[in-house]
Structure 1
Amino acid sequence: MLYIKQLDTVRAIAAILVILTHWLPIPYIQYSGFVGVNIFFVLSGFLITRILFEHRNEAEESGISKLTVFKNFFFRRALRILPIYFLMVFMLYLFGSNVDPKTDSELIYLSTFTINFHFYNLKYFGDLTAQCWSLAVEEQFYLLWPWVILYINKKYLLHAILAFILIGTTSQFFINDFEYGYLPTYTCFDAFGLGALLSWVMVYRPHLLNKTYKVLHLLVILSALLLAGRLSGAIGVPMPIRTLVSVIALWVITYLMYKSQTNEIGFSFLFNNKLLLFMGKISYGLYLYHISLPYIVWAFAKYMKPYISSLADNYLFYVFANVSLLFLVPWLSWRFIEKPFLSLKKYFVYQKAATPTPARAAV
């Protein structure tokens, strides 16, 4: 799968929506994080499933064990996700309780990627760990999905994907608590499944991509109308909100994949925006670190107040410091931690290629 740089813009937009939720918790904006998280889920479902499809096909053609494919997939994912994640967990172990006393009780759930169920059961979000529930869901998806994609008979792959979408969609009709009801993993299956469905089309039915894109035009309009009706109160019946948001995200990703085949991607000001492309590249760090940065700035200002008395009350200082760290810290993380670990992926190649292969999407 060729690297489509515009997907980095999608990542950046998703990260920005999540950051806005935590940095500007005001009406309407506070729901942007829900949209951003679901964009990440659909994108992960698409990219991860396509990687698994392609390497399953290669394994079957070359005689490589599917277990080898799973092993390499797992270690490559671990190199991408775990280093800075557990660095964050370690820093929370050292300093987190100074900000939020509940942090100590969360460490075991953070370490086992089960924090989404912890938040769901106790009905709260951690001050420093609220963003981690979706990472737990992603990791649970990574543990389950390869077994489905690699080992189910090919003729049932579409059935399995549709079943996941159905499970995720129907489960949302029984959600009574919008704030916490979407945290269990099974309520997210539809978002991952919709991304996986696009992968299935592109790998096994590429001639249907054009038709898929046109069908999504209609589904996006319907989804937008249903969302507007539900959120405004005009529609009072339960709705699968995550599914509706995920359909819109899928439409954007499908547009990029469809148009990339003929180099006709429009909206260049958006999808080729250099700042957004940069933010997309460091989006994992943006997502992971952003919630802690205001606390770091506040602690620094408090420490410096005896020396610069006006600093702690200077609003512009907080804005400048937070935005600066928002870019600086994830970039440093990418350059000096994530990138060196990602270079170790060369030891977990899916198969030895006779000729160089195109660069794969960075996921």
Structure 2
Amino acid sequence: MHRINSIDYMRGLLALCVMIYHFMSWSTGTPDSSTTLGRLGVYAVSTFYIISGISLYLAYSDLTLSGQNLLTYFTKRFFRIAPLYWIATLSTGLYLYLATQNFTIDWEKYISNLTLTFGYYHPKNYVPVGGWSIGNEMVFYALFPLLVVFAKNKWTYLFASLVLGSIYFHFSSNLLTPTQTLAQQWTTYINPFNQAFLFSIGVGIGIVRKSQASANNLYPTIALVFACIAFTYWPVDGNQINIVTGFNRAIFTLICGLACWAVLNLDIKPQKYTTPILKFMGDISYSAYLLHGAAFFYTSKYLLPLIHDTPSPHEKLQFFCMITLPLTIALSYCVYRFIEKPFINIGKKLTDRSKQNTAFTKASTEQ
């Protein structure tokens, strides 16, 4: 199936929101959950999971549980994720080495990050900012082939989604409590079992898209406008724990799912000025998401003191938005162009060569 640009555009805009959210949190303080940015700081990542489920299903809906197919699938996923994650991990580790007296390497932590295995047994063991979500993604990648098998029959898929949904709401209703802040319960929140239902929602949206695409823009446009209004104005405030627990968790999950369905089904006509910008942000979204933390660390330590001796919180925010953000975007483009794309192509070549060798071996055996 051809690539659906609207989903890439959405991912790029959400990555930009995450960067701005973090820069604000690290300078003037974490935005309240009554603000749109405060909500995006949490649910942008949740929406990434839904988008990931959509994208993978549309690309691999015909995946079967054969050794060759699974090898191809996991090889491509590894070369898509690992190289950039290595860069983010090592650049963050280098900063910690330079900025911390008597720095000692936690070898188990760094090895689990470089092998992308920490999400399976210790989700809090991530190194780069936002790395926890990549650990979760690796767990979802392992879960995905089973979801594809379940999706062959609507009842088995609904059952699997019901199981994941029950776990999801068990976290929001019982394991997470609004009497403590989200930061105090961070280890519980980032557990892959507290996020997997979002990924399965994306797979479900992909299933609907494969079976019946929207005929026009009317319903997706109405749905997207409604989702944006509901996301912005749903009455909740205080610490962000209030938007990931109880009934609010269900509401915001529904809103994010609806927004993804709407964007997926929108027929967006190319525009002279906006389309190149949206495509650019979509292309660099993964790099920007993983590298903005390291960019913040280095610029705040080595560049900010050159401009302000004792900057106020608002001066810090201005610096991050005017200096760190553009530098992050420029760095992300370079990494996307010279590291991400080449490694993605390596993964494709390796899997294509493996398929050819398998076909040759089978033909030789038959002869």
On whether the aligned pair clears a TM of 0.5, the verdict is yes
Distance 2:145 2:291 in 1: 28
After superposition, give the CA deviation of every residue in 1:289-337 in whole Å (9 maximum; x if it has no partner).
001112222343379x5xxxx5767857665431331111101101111
Shift in alpha-carbon separation, 1:47–1:100, aligned structure 2, 3 A: farther
Distance 2:150 2:247 in 1: 30
Structure 1, unpaired ranges of 5+: 57-64, 353-363
Contact 2:54 2:202 in 1 (8 A): yes
Secondary structure at 2:293's aligned position in 1? coil
Contact 2:150 2:160 in 1 (8 A): no
Q: Residue 131 of structure 1 corresponds to which residue in structure 2? A: 130
Contact 1:92 1:103 in 2 (8 A): no
Q: Residue 140 of structure 1 corresponds to which residue in structure 2? A: 139
Amino acid at match of 1:97: Y
Contact 1:161 1:196 in 2 (8 A): no
- Comparing 335-344 and 160-169, the one that deviates more: 160-169
Question: Residue 347 in 1 paired to residue 343 in 2?
Answer: no
> 1:190-205 residue pairs with structure 2 within 5 A?
190-203=197-210, 205=211
Q: Residue 278 of structure 1 corresponds to which residue in structure 2? A: 280
Q: Residue 361 of structure 2 corresponds to which residue in structure 1? A: none
Distance 1:227 1:139 in 2: 33
What's the Cα RMSD here? 4.1
Aligned residue pair count? 327
Shift in alpha-carbon separation, 1:209–1:116, aligned structure 2, 3 A: farther
Amino acid at match of 1:157: Y
Distance 1:37 1:224 in 2: 18
Secondary structure at 2:11's aligned position in 1? helix
> 1:1-363 residue pairs with structure 2 within 5 A?
1-25=1-25, 26=29, 27-28=31-32, 29-56=37-64, 66-99=66-99, 104-105=105-106, 106-111=109-114, 112-114=116-118, 118=122, 129-150=128-149, 154=153, 156-174=156-174, 175-176=176-177, 177=180, 178-179=182-183, 180=186, 181-203=188-210, 205-206=211-212, 217=223, 224=230, 228-231=234-237, 238-239=245-246, 241-260=248-267, 265=268, 272-301=274-303, 305=306, 319-344=321-346, 345-349=348-352
**Cα displacement (A) at 1:139:** 0.9
Amino acid at match of 1:53: S
**Cα displacement (A) at 1:11:** 0.6
**Cα displacement (A) at 1:196:** 1.1
Distance 2:96 2:243 in 1: 41
Secondary structure at 1:229's aligned position in 2? coil
Secondary structure at 1:282's aligned position in 2? helix
* TM-score (structure 2 length as normaliser): 0.73
After superposition, give the CA deviation of every residue in 1:25-51 in whole Å (9 maximum; x if it has no partner).
132344422121011011001111232
Shift in alpha-carbon separation, 1:249–1:274, aligned structure 2, 3 A: farther
Contact 1:230 1:236 in 2 (8 A): yes
Contact 2:91 2:294 in 1 (8 A): no
Q: Percent identity?
A: 21
Structure 2, unpaired ranges of 5+: 357-367
